[in-house]
């Protein structure tokens, strides 16, 4: 979240940033609450100073035998204490209201982010690879998968409901192979692997910005825990309320988890196949970095995610999101889009973001460098998919399909598939 003092002292710049993001926020309520808070703090400080002065005088009066004067000051101190109690209760309430309001304002876009209204204003950065050309009408993964007997959408609906997928045989093995392949690749490049919980408490979700704003997108248990929408949530919060050493930064973490999203507000979007579902597998990348290194770490994170696609031989493009299309916590985001023949277009398969100190302030993740500065400072947090596994399965099926309905296994995956080179129809 943003710091109250920063918002107050840079109110016009913050307003412009929210306009660029096409975000609506209650600035007037914030300014009124912030003024009330500062007024209360002033009153508390004045009374604390008077109480301290009176307490100091009481001892001298008692020593000089001026008991009546001392008792009068004692009565004044008691009255001041009563006032302070009332003011502190009031101040706690206002502090809570200010914090709640600041929890709902999105991050400020980095200066390098293009200003725009929506996805139509995103800017392509580069492309890699050439989309395949077919001598026959290529099939979509939602047709080819069931024909091969490796994806069963109908039974997924029977087992759980709409937007759930059942995979079997070589489909299940392909999913597992991709997870292991991605994790091995990322750990070889310096990421530490974790196996985190897939249930998280409210503090964890608030730390990365999913709460309170996006509660409708989350699955919640009866005892107040949430199914995570992404491993970013738990990986980032590993060091919540901690102070790290500067020499140990950046921290680079990766994890495979299933992810769960209500997809509230997405009715009618990508209703077929594995692109937009309630449960999906993902290998996540998270970094905690020093502020001066975080933008370089964002570029290297994009390189780590795109390397997966390059090794799989899947054509992709990288775009930088404009101000109106960025996520709530992001200061800058690159989307990586893989070519899908079923759409005759590139579709998002990873989103890599630098959240600056926005999440770190919410989660209180700091670092210290005694030889550089006193005290501690907030780290910068970064996250990205490395990659969304189900979408990668869909991309492989569609891009590597053959005229006879079989699917060639990318060479890099064959060691993870027990040497299987071609997926053919199975019962």
Q: Quick check: 206 and 362 in contact, CB under 8 A?
A: yes
- Per the document, the length of the chain is 427
* Ordered alpha helix ranges (H), 266-349: 294-312
Angle between helices 389-399 and 170-188 (to 10 degrees): 110
Choose among 167, 182, 93: nearest CA to 386.
182
Strand, coil or helix: what is 2? Answer: coil
Query: Which residues is 333 bridged to in the sheet?
Result: 353
> Which DSSP string corresponds to 149-191?
TSEEHHHHHHHT-TT--EE-THHHHHHHHHHHHHHHHHHHTTP
**Residue 382: partners with Cβ closer than 8 Å, 6 or more residues away:** 285, 286, 287, 288, 289, 294, 297, 298, 301, 352, 353, 354, 355
Residues taking part in catalysis:
261, 276, 348, 351, 391
- Most distant CA pair in the chain, distance: 108
């Amino acid at each position: 979240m943003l710091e109250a003092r920063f918002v107050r002292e840079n109110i016009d710049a913050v307003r412009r940033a929210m306009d660029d993001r096409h975000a609506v926020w209650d600035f007037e309520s914030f300014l009124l609450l912030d003024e009330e808070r500062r007024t209360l703090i002033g009153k508390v400080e004045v009374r604390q100073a008077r109480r301290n002065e009176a307490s100091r005088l009481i001892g001298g009066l008692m020593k000089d035998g001026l008991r009546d004067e001392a008792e009068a000051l004692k009565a004044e101190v008691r009255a001041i204490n009563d006032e302070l109690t009332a003011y502190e209760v009031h101040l706690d309430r206002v502090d809570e209201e200010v914090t709640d309001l600041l929890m709902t304002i999105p991050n400020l876009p980095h200066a390098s982010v293009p200003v725009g209204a929506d996805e139509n204003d995103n800017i392509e950065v580069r492309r890699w690879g050439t989309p395949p050309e077919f001598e026959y009408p290529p099939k979509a993964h939602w047709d080819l998968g069931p024909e091969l007997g490796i994806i069963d959408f109908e039974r997924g609906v029977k087992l759980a409901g709409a937007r759930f997928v059942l995979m079997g045989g070589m489909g299940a093995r392909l999913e597992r192979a991709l997870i292991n392949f991605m994790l091995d690749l990322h750990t070889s490049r310096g990421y530490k692997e974790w196996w985190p919980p897939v249930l998280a408490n409210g503090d964890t979700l608030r730390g990365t910005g999913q709460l309170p704003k996006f509660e409708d997108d989350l699955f919640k248990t009866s005892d107040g825990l949430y199914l995570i929408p992404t491993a970013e949530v738990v990986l980032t919060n590993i060091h919540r309320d901690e102070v790290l050493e500067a020499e140990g930064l950046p921290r680079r973490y990766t994890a495979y988890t299933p992810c769960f999203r209500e997809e509230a507000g997405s009715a009618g979007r990508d209703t077929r196949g594995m692109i937009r579902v309630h449960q999906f597998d993902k290998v996540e990348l998270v970094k905690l970095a020093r502020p001066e290194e975080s933008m370089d770490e964002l570029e290297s994170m994009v390189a780590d995610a795109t390397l997966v696609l390059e090794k799989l031989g899947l054509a992709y493009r990288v775009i930088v999101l404009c101000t109106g299309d960025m996520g709530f916590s992001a200061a800058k985001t690159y989307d990586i889009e893989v070519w899908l023949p079923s759409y005759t277009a590139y579709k998002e398969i990873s989103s890599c973001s630098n959240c600056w100190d926005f999440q770190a302030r919410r989660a209180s993740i700091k670092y210290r460098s005694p030889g550089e500065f006193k005290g501690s400072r907030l780290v910068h947090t970064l996250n990205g998919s490395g990659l969304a596994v189900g979408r990668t399965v869909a991309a492989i099926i569609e891009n590597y399909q053959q005229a006879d309905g079989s699917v060639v296994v990318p060479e890099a995956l064959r060691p993870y598939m027990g040497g299987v080179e071609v997926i053919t129809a199975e019962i």
